[in-house]
Amino acid sequence: MKYGFFDDANKEYVITSPKTPFPWINYLGNKDFFGLISNTAGGYTFYKDAKFRRLTRYRYNNVPVDMGGRYYYLKDEDCTWNPTFKPCQTELDSYECRHGLSYSRFLSSKNGLSSNLLCFIPLDYMGEVHLLKLKNESNQTKKVKLFSFAEWCLWNAEDDMTNFQRNLSTGEVEVEGSALYHKTEYKERRNHYAFFSVNTKINGFDTDRESFIGMHNGFDKPQAVENGKATDSIAHGWSPIASHYIEVELKAGEEKEFVFVLGYVENKDEEKWASKGIINKTKAKAMMAQFDTTQKVEAAFANLQNYWSNLLDKFQLDSQESELNRMVSIWNQYQCMVTFNMSRSASFFESGIGRGMGFRDSNQDIIGFVHQIPEQARERILDIAATQFEDGGCYHQYQPLTKMGNHALGGDFNDDPLWLILSVSSYIKETGDFAILDEMVPFDNDESKAQSLFTHLKVSFSHVINNLGPHQLPLIGRADWNDCLNLNCFSTNPNESFQTTGNKKGRTAESIMIAGLFVVYGKEFIKLCKQIGKREEAQEASLHVKAMEKSVKEHAWDGEWFLRAYDYYGKKVGSNENKEGKIFIESQGWCTMAEIGKEEGLMKKSLDSVKERLDTPYGIVLNNPAFTEYKIEYGEISTYPAGYKENAGIFCHNNPWVIIGETLLGRGDQAWDYFRKICPSYLEEISDLHKVEPYVYCQMVAGKDAFKPGEGKNSWLTGTASWNFYTISQYILGIQPDYDGLKIDPCIPSDWKEYSVRRQFRGAMYEIKVLNPSGINKGIKSIELDGKALNGNILPILTSGTHQVKVILG
């Protein structure tokens, strides 16, 4: 069942029923100021950090779900309704939510009154702008009472939900004109406040939640709205809110427009006050003036749309698959931007308080984003590297506000350092900016310990070879990519974190996934060393990579597939000898991406085993058979019910690793089959089963052992976004940025006859047409560049202009 449709021309997904199987959300903002907004306007707004600079309050476990957001109430005689359906849930005569690129528009109507609500964050603006248009579609005059609503969070979102003995006494507000200001804690240690304004005279307001909603009411029936009048309340402690009350008269056919701004202001310490106890509102008033007319709002909205058009124009696909075109050309790239901004910190499944920016996550996010805004990728790489330790290890997470490592979580996730080689090499291939390697970057954010970024890469490589176990395979530490495979944890206490608890600190638990990862990015490190003339480093690294390949072949091959690990006791994990968890996807993916044992047939056997044992109609499961008992020596992975998350769920993030392996074998039909199964636009028809948004990837789909196979969870913030864009663009479509140019190496389904890619690279635009007259998967017969035959398959670096490329497979 579908709940909407793709509007490709406008780059929107149009939701036609407010009762989606799960809240279908969107993101507002691009750089420092953000908002999450659902198809019924639920969500919240924050500046930079969803934990420490939360503007509005949101309760994830509310019943019904997705209650709390930016709301507008319309009281039309005895009928009260919301332009966004919630929270009143009054049945509407019409409803559409159009989620676009960094904006959402709600079109609705009831009893001859129509509403058009546009929500977005303008470029380089610290505020969320709402343009609300109300039109009387009837033939009689309407007198409508309009109420706005936002509930302030007391800045620190975690403290806001727990420290009630303080927070129920600290709320402070100011009201001036049509602007309602939130200034809790401003007089002491904060230099920031928030405001909610409207560009018209108001008839009343409320800033105290109890006065507006009533002690025994909910968002769906606020007392002030029921009474048809604001109370002009001033919050003194308790829970501060912001609600405007506006009496609107609309003649037949008349339309009126209102601009609301939910803004954030920082003042220098010496500029905090206008007078004693009165905040300095100069910046806030300037922000309001920027959007005090509809024309100014619509101009900013046009700028936002142009911004996204220019970004997306850097990679456009035209193929026989319309579902694929919209994902590659629009939605997958959009999701890559969002995951770059958010890492895994703030979605409907991540509350924004428990995680910062992940070291591993952020490095991977760059590979799907770097072609869009390379300068931001560069900045992020340097931020990430600065949280590394001198031995090559690193903090597993860091806070975006301070850019400091998360001491509470710490490090010792032994795959982390290698991902830095991925992001840096991807960035340099895209930009040609080798100078980044000479940037001086601190260790542990200590400037006195700064070394070149290349040194950071060198210690990242060395961290693996300095931490090898009994089989000369990498020690896993707390965990590798799979945070739930905790081979040194041994937890019996439900209040412990599996990831941070290490009750048995041994040097025996080894990861074959890290071994494959090391070979892949060890080869990248070698290639990079050769590019910059560091021959000795390249030669030394080559010895270690070859030694690792040898160790994998000798100690990590199980006969039909690669082992997953060795546990604390030195026993095999992911072996046919095991009762449960005989085979895992991660080591099959990375060892085949590394092409370990390709000549001996190990690579083919491994991928054949994936097909036989892990494939399902909804994607490749993480392991098989699923765990049915808690294995204390394995940790969290065995705590999930069979078929969910890391216990034999379809972890979409790692499906691309197997897909890449298939393309390296030249099996384009199988690669495409796997890719299509998890691509959200192909799942639109089963939205009632899949549940999550059909326009973005989710982290996990319930596997074949689950109660409801095919059900999705954890959408938006997942490495699936970057890895799938990387996989489809570089390994299936075969457009690969490289140090010396743009490499062309497709591996496609045999029934694809042709496709075209428009790709910007190093200042030039390449319009690439690939023809497949013989119906093959892989292999290039000829390439022409601007009408001339090209030797090899690397397009030379051209710094300007548009160039025609014709590729014939054969």
The residues annotated as belonging to the active site are 483
Q: What is the CA radius of gyration of the chain?
A: 28
Tell me the three state secondary structure of residue 59: coil
The three-state secondary structure class of 561 is: coil
The position carrying tokens 């710094």 is 799
Q: How many helices (H) and strands (E) does the chain have?
A: 20, 44
φ and ψ at residue 194, rounded to 5 degrees: -130, 165
> Which tokens hold the place of 229?
């009048």
Q: At 380, which helix (H) or strand (E)? A: helix 374-385
How far apart CA 377 and CA 385 sit, in angstroms, is 12
Scan for tokens 């991807």, then name that residue. Answer: 426
Give the long-range contacts of residues 92-97, CB within 8 A, separation 24 or more: 92/18, 95/16, 95/17, 95/18, 96/14, 96/15, 96/16, 97/4, 97/14, 97/15, 97/18, 97/24, 97/39, 97/40
* Residue in the block written with tokens 């006969």: 559
Number of other residues whose CB lies within 10 A of the CB of residue 730: 19
What span, in angstroms and rounded, lies between the C-alpha atoms of 610 and 560? Answer: 10
How far, CA to CA in Å, does 687 sit from each of 163, 366, 477, 701, 715? 39, 29, 39, 12, 13
Nearest to 182 by CA among 45, 80, 383, 37: 45
Tell me the angle at which helices 359-369 and 416-431 cross, rounded to the nearest 10 degrees: 20
Helix or strand or coil: residue 524?
Answer: helix
Q: H helices of 171-293, where?
A: 209-213, 223-227, 282-290
Reduce the DSSP state of residue 385 to 3 states and report it. Answer: helix
Three-class SS state of 723 = helix
Two tokens at 130?
Answer: 């709402």
- Which residue from 418, 422, 416 is spatially nearest to 483, judged by alpha carbons? 416
As a whole number of angstroms, the distance between CA 676 and CA 752 comes to 14
Residue 591 in contact with residue 515, Cβ under 8 Å? yes
Give kind and range of the element (H or E) at residue 100.
strand 94-100
32 pairs with which residues across the strands? none
- Paired strand residues for 258: 132
Q: Exposed, middle or buried: residue 125 (CB in 10 Å: 0-12, 13-18, 19+)?
A: buried
What are residue 76's phi and psi, to 5 degrees? -110, 95
Q: Which of 152, 113, 145, 135 lies closest to 225, judged by CA?
A: 145
Q: CB atoms < 10 A from the CB of 792, how many?
A: 12
Of 471, 473, 466, 464, nearest to 419 by C-alpha is: 464
Which residue intervals of 614-667 are DSSP H helices?
655-665
Which 3 state secondary structure label does DSSP give 346? strand
Task: Quickly tell me which residue has 């954010």 as its tokens.
Answer: 445
Distance CA 106, CA 96 (A): 6
**Alpha helices, H only, 467-511:** none
Dihedral sign (CA 384, 389, 393, 399): negative
Q: Taking a C-beta distance cutoff of 8 angstroms, is the pair 590, 657 a contact? A: yes
Residue 624: partners with Cβ closer than 8 Å, 6 or more residues away: 581, 582, 583, 613, 614, 648
